[in-house]
Amino acid sequence: IAAGPKLIIADEPTTALDVTTQAQVLRLLKRLVDEDQIGLVLITHDLAVVAGVADKIAIMRAGEVVEAGPTVELFRDLKHPYSQALFEASSHQPPRIPPAVSGGTPVLAVDNVVRDYPLPRKSLFAPPLAFRAVDHVTLRVERGENVGLVGESGCGKSTLARAIMALEPTQGGAITIDGSAIDPRHGASFETRRKMQVVFQDPYGSFNPRQRVDTLVSEPFHLLKSAAPQGAERERRIARALEEVGLPAGELVDVFLRIAIARALIIEPSLIILDEAVSALDVSIRAQILDLLADLSDRLQLSYLFISHDLHVVRAITDRVLVMRAGKIVEEGPTEDVFANPKHAYTQELLAATPNLERALREREAIA
């Protein structure tokens, strides 16, 4: 805005942001439109965001505008099948079989974990200082259970995930995977690492583009050492992993997230950590991936630790949720209980900042 433009084109400006930061950015965009009379073209896959900001909406598919009109009128009377499918997908909740908590050894146990980062000394003889990114966090994930971890950027979610994956040392507490302890300084053994896998936020960046799909998917076999399958058994395991995620064996499909999930599945882990795995997807593709994850969890008794700033996704896929702020868990409980009746002020703030399609339409109707 330094050059005083008449038009701003905002292409997915809030996709990677947590809900509180997203709300601030959206307020800024609306202020520029209202006070500075700047035109705004907002490109997004989030229907709730566009309903709260845009006066008029155009819905595109395969390079063509299939439906357009004023925001409230369009959403209240969607005519095109594609528009209707997008609207339904925005509130999609995959069918789940509630996990039967056995009371045995949890798949993941985190007890009073602390992660400190050293800070520069203020003077030569000053005591050493540290920034506490994870502050005595405790959590459990049972077999077949999906647990969500939410909070704004910088609260310690990804740091905790790296500690669980034994990618960073901890300065206190204990972490066990299926009963096997992770050494706080030296990390996890190969046997422990094979019990957990991760699907990253950016599957594109986690692959070597020069490698074939079968090579990428079979990468975790190195954790099995001498027990890694060879020959026909290796090919069978690769084919099965690809089929589990809806990719026929040998078909090079440009669906990197499904390949990332197949890679996580191939050594049959007990726990998969999904770190913002669906945050960049449009609502229709996101609904398909959530259906896939729910189906895999139910059929294979997989446990997920689902880290996300998208509260709609967490509500749709998880059984329990933990809310993290400044390195601490401030609230936890069954997902529906926490969302329907949040106790902590920070949880209430997160939910209030989350874009809601129906709420945005009602607000527009009230001021019309």
Dist CA 26 CA 47 (whole Å):
14
Per-residue confidence band for 73, with pLDDT thresholds at 50, 70 and 90: very high
Domain edges within the chain: 7-94+358-367, 108-355
pLDDT tens digits, residue range 160-170? 999 999 888 99
Dist CA 325 CA 109 (whole Å):
20
Q: At what angle do helices 283-300 and 256-265 cross, to 10 degrees?
A: 10
Q: Do domains 7-94+358-367 and 108-355 have the same CATH topology?
A: yes
Q: At what angle do helices 283-300 and 81-90 cross, to 10 degrees?
A: 50
- Interacting residues of 14 by C-beta distance below 8 A, sequence separation 6+: 21, 22, 25, 26, 44, 46, 49
Q: Which CATH architecture has domain 7-94+358-367?
A: 3-Layer(aba) Sandwich (3.40)
Dist CA 34 CA 79 (whole Å):
30
Specify the pTM.
0.86
Instruction: Using alpha carbons, list the distances in angstroms from residue 97 to 138, 290, 301.
Output: 26, 14, 10
Range 143-153 burial, b when 16+ CB lie within 10 A, else e: bbbbbbbbbbe
pLDDT tens digits, residue range 251-277? 343 478 888 899 999 999 999 999 888
Report pLDDT for 121: 84
CATH class, 108-355 region: alpha beta
